[in-house]
Amino acid sequence: MLTLNTRRRFVTRACAALAATAALTALAPVAHAQDKVLNLYSARHYPSDDQLYALFTQTTGIKINRVDSDDAGIVARLRAEGAASPADVVLLVDAARMAVADAQGLFRPIKSAKLDAAIPAHLRAAPTPQGVTWTGFSTRARVIVYDPLRVKAEDVATYEQLAAPKLKGLLCTRSGSHPYNLSLFATVIERLGDDKGQQWLNGLVANMARPPQGGDTDQIRAVASGECGVAISNSYYMARLIASDKPEDRRVVERVRVVFPNQATTGTHVNIAGAAVARHAKNLDAAIAFMEFLASPQAQAYFANGNHEFPAANGVKLDNPALRAMGADHFKADTIPLAVVAKNLTKVQQMLDRAGYK
């Protein structure tokens, strides 16, 4: 049995423990309220992004909680979560995908003088009285890759020439319905008009060396192997091959050439990787701070170079040897607003179906 003194000591210790627990419980909400966090849903998966997020936390004291998925997975998750979603900022890698998510009401418009000053208007969603829903923070060019033994550079100087009869049986692309191609096709058709645009798509299909398949790197390799004479690719896929030290990649680079199309006319089509504040963001101030941070010169270097892309912010210079090796220092980029292009995606998909573009 416990002695009287033992019972007294037990009760004293128990009371002290309960008091300590109560004190911690009382302090917990205060500590939690002082935590600054940002919940990020990201379709970007590059090692340099970890450094980017660490820099943001170091600069602002805001901790980033990240969920990684592909674009489709992120959009599906946002829709399923609805108002209960913890997402504050969403990173996606294509203007078409940004536009689709925006049309579903998944983004929150914001106003930011810093973003207005840093990012060109054509790389952002169309402004509304409530603000802007999405912003591009890096760009990539949709280039033409060709075999110099089979195709002359002057015959692939524009996107429009890809439908010319002299390229019959030489063209390779990924699926026409892929967002990278949808954005390009919507741009060209916006310039040409619907009738000529349909004729152009019909010409692309007539020139195919094989049914559309694979990704952009597969198209480049197919040109190098002789299966195709010309292909369409995002610039960073070619830059990755240039930066590679693998012998097989070096052989591909030596066999092909790159054209930045439409330099004498409208300029080369560019797409974006961008961000938006989630519709139901709970940490709005942190979300806007992160968006503004991405437009800073220091962050632009991480954001763009992590995937061999181009900085989007005004006044930030290209610093990427692989892109410079492609002659990308001073190419003329098309400045048609991506928001204008994005609104035509459904129409373009219907035109692709009529053309039989898989």
237 is in an annotated binding site: yes
The domain 35-139+271-317 belongs to what CATH superfamily?
A: Periplasmic binding protein-like II (3.40.190.10)
DSSP assignment of 226-295, as one string?
Answer: TS-SEEEEEHHHHHHHHH---HHHHHHHHH-EEE---TTTT-B-EEEEEEEEETT-S-HHHHHHHHHHHT
180 is in an annotated binding site: no
The domain 140-268+340-355 belongs to what CATH superfamily?
A: Periplasmic binding protein-like II (3.40.190.10)
236 is in an annotated binding site: yes
Q: pLDDT tens, position by position, for the chain (358 residues)?
A: 333 343 334 334 333 333 333 332 333 333 343 479 999 999 998 888 899 999 999 999 999 999 999 999 999 999 999 999 999 999 999 888 898 899 999 999 999 999 999 999 999 999 999 999 999 999 999 999 999 999 999 999 999 999 999 999 999 999 999 999 999 999 999 999 999 999 999 999 999 999 999 999 999 999 999 999 999 999 999 999 999 999 999 999 999 999 999 999 999 999 999 999 999 999 999 999 999 999 999 999 888 888 999 999 999 988 899 999 998 888 999 999 988 888 888 999 999 999 999 9
Rounded CA-CA distance 178/232 in Å is 12
In the chain, CATH 3.40.190.10 covers 35-139+271-317, 140-268+340-355
Q: Is the dihedral angle over the CA atoms 71, 76, 77, 81 positive or is it negative?
A: positive
